[in-house]
A and B are shown apart, each in its own frame.
Chain A
């Protein structure tokens, strides 16, 4: 069975500092991996996705993630945090047979002025 683990339910960074949100996955087959952002009382917005092409994936709003098979990781990074980045971030793995998404528990990012 596929699963996703997000380390750190809360992450705080200063404005302008590096953002690093961690995601590890478990999958017996090559996974499709996603990062989503959710603002309060809103749906999910896709930040980026990995679908077995380039291992370094660039997304919207300056975010990127690197797929590392040896580490079963798909960590999300952004060089310089903005106040507007404060939100909940979810890592997800997609079952390529059923297209069901399995979500991590989420990481709430707080950006300090």
Chain B
């Protein structure tokens, strides 16, 4: 159990276009989902926290108009990179925290999405 799936696994888009990344909790309900960004050979940096039915909370320095997050249901959160530029190329990883279970000591991570903007 506790599987988080991201789609797509990799995407290439043209500069100036928008791209949407989905994060789904497959076998549990996730009250809270997190989006991380990982630059090559670097650690994961938290971008934002999304709670179902409310606005996402962005970390300092993250442009909320650039990275649109929607958490429309307890099993789905989406990250849309708007007007993408090459510097947005990165590895994006989501994680989800289970709702209403005793296993609330950890969040479960998706497999990541490699975004390349050309």
B25 within 8 A of A: no
Question: What residues of B have a CB within 8 angstroms of the CB of A94 in the complex?
Answer: 105-107
B89 within 8 A of A: no
Pick from A34, A42, A104 the residue with the most CB of B within 10 Å. A42
- In contact, A44 and B32 (Cβ under 8 angstroms): no
Report the nearest B residue to A49, measured CB to CB: B106
- In contact, B43 and A101 (Cβ under 8 angstroms): no
A70 within 8 A of B: no
- In contact, A41 and B114 (Cβ under 8 angstroms): yes
A105 within 8 A of B: yes
- Interface members, chain B 21-69 (any A CB < 8 Å): 32, 34, 36, 42-46, 49
- In contact, A43 and B106 (Cβ under 8 angstroms): no
Report the nearest B residue to A94, measured CB to CB: B106
Contact of B34 among A34, A43, A101 (CB under 8 A): A101
Question: What residues of A have a CB within 8 angstroms of the CB of B10 in the complex?
Answer: 41
B71 within 8 A of A: no
- Interface members, chain A 82-113 (any B CB < 8 Å): 90, 94, 98-106
A14 within 8 A of B: no
Question: What residues of B have a CB within 8 angstroms of the CB of A100 in the complex?
Answer: 34, 46, 49
B95 within 8 A of A: yes
Contact of A43 among B42, B45, B49, B93 (CB under 8 A): B93
Shortest Cβ gap from A78 to chain B (Å): 21
A36 to B42 CA separation, bound complex (whole angstroms): 14
Question: What residues of A have a CB within 8 angstroms of the CB of B106 in the complex?
Answer: 32, 34, 46, 49, 51, 94
A46 to B108 CA separation, bound complex (whole angstroms): 9
- In contact, B43 and A103 (Cβ under 8 angstroms): yes
Point out residues on B near A: beta carbons under 8 Å: 6, 10, 32, 34, 36, 42-46, 49, 91, 93, 95, 97, 104-107, 109-112, 114
8 smallest beta-carbon distances between A and B, as pairs: A43-B111, A43-B112, A44-B109, A51-B105, A103-B43, A103-B44, A105-B43, A99-B97
